Amino acid sequence: MSWKTLDDMDLAGKIVLVRVDINVPVKDGVVTDATRIERIVPTIKDIVAKGGKPVMLAHFGRPKGQVVPEMSLKITVPTLEEKLGQPVTFIEKPSRDEIAALPEGTVVLVENTRFTAMETDNDPKMAQFLASLGDLYCNDAFSAAHRAHASTEGVAKLLPNCAGRLMAQELGALEAALGKPERPVVAVVGGAKVSTKLDLLSNLIEKVDHLVIGGGMANTFLVAKGVEIGTSLAERDMADTAREILAKSETTGCKIHLPVDIVVAGEFAAGAANETLPVDQCPADKMILDAGPATVEALKGVFAECKTLIWNGPLGAFEIEPFHKGTFDAALAAAALTADGKLITVAGGGDTVSALNKSGAAKDFTYISTAGGAFLEWMEGKELPGVAALG
């Protein structure tokens, strides 16, 4: 990868435009999860320490090109100030002169970039305007890097640019996981639908040695193999596609792993009466809600054989007990191998992060990406505009 980092740039006396992702959850006017804000702190502090003046560019919500007061970034200022340990100057309509007049060491936050449609249209005029505000551009928002917007791609092409600390960390972790990984590599892909992850599966079976398919997706593959799955969630119209993926995996040398036993119940509800059965014995009036213990044991064996694990998606309905057990037990096994220095583990995607946090496995994973769409598109092998524009 050819991108530069903050260490490659002379920041002294420079105004540094920093694209960050602080699109955080808010309730009753208060930030309820500051994870994304916490993750940009090293970049902002570094810029200040090196004599630069950081000007943060970010979006918040989906105002669809309109000024929506409830989606003003001003709401994030108290949390930003708390995490950075210094005041943050909020500017609604920025100008170069106003920013330049601020004292050295000032941290600036500009209003929601999506308050104009020019942002999402990647309008050259907006990119030019943003470029006029600063001397350098730093992208620290991997989670927005799959969008070709004025603040993620357009402006990057107009100024000397680099990756922020979080972006560099993320790209390094991803390169280690799929670019030049330690082999063998295993990927765990779960979730409800095969149709939403076709590109992902097609890319992975060319890149990894083992592919574990879980969740509702696994049911579609079971249907493709002629296994009856009762009332379980499945995309029966995707059975032919699933068969094509299974056939392709044989030519690439990627071994696909599906459940060997299942946890079934008559209803999708917490605490529902359930039983564990061999995968081919799902009753006609029951649904599969989790992978069984024998499946998890088999996965532990696969993990132990491998050097690198990439994880996107749960193995079952982890949101409700007791159908969390398959995902949690497998995640904890991967975490233990990581803690022992035997496995590199990289995970990403909303459900995945939630499951790893709830299971207690997250603290031992090598890297967990908070990016959703960008992480998925990277796993699919697609070029991310916000990354491609750096360098």
Q: Which of 350, 360, 363, 391 is catalytic?
A: 350
State yes or no: 19 annotated in a binding site.
no
Q: Which of 193, 248, 255, 307 is catalytic?
A: 193
State yes or no: 61 annotated in a binding site.
yes
Q: Which of 36, 83, 207, 286 is catalytic?
A: 36
State yes or no: 142 annotated in a binding site.
no
Verify whether residue 391 is a known catalytic residue. no
State yes or no: 22 annotated in a binding site.
yes
Question: Whole-angstrom Cα distance, residue 235 to residue 231?
Answer: 12
Return the structure tokens found at 183: 């082999």
Verify whether residue 193 is a known catalytic residue. yes
State the virtual CA torsion across 286, 289, 295, 301 in degrees, nearest 10. Answer: 180
Verify whether residue 373 is a known catalytic residue. yes
State yes or no: 59 annotated in a binding site.
yes
Return the structure tokens found at 122: 């990647």
State yes or no: 21 annotated in a binding site.
yes
Return the structure tokens found at 265: 């119940």
State yes or no: 324 annotated in a binding site.
no
Q: Which of 65, 230, 372, 373 is catalytic?
A: 373
Question: Whole-angstrom Cα distance, residue 227 to residue 234?
Answer: 12
**Cα dist. 138→35, 44, 83, 313 in Å?**
20, 10, 20, 31
β-strand partners of 345: 309
Question: Whole-angstrom Cα distance, residue 305 to residue 20?
Answer: 38
State yes or no: 114 annotated in a binding site.
yes
Verify whether residue 382 is a known catalytic residue. no
β-strand partners of 232: none
State yes or no: 46 annotated in a binding site.
no
State yes or no: 23 annotated in a binding site.
yes
E-strand ranges in 164-258 read 185-189, 210-213, 255-257
Give me the active site residues, please: 36, 193, 350, 373
Which residues define the annotated binding site?
21-23, 36, 59-62, 114, 147, 197, 319, 349-352
Which residues define the annotated binding site for ATP?
197, 319, 349-352
Which residues define the annotated binding site for (2R)-3-phosphoglycerate?
36, 114, 147
Which residues define the annotated binding site for substrate?
21-23, 36, 59-62, 114, 147
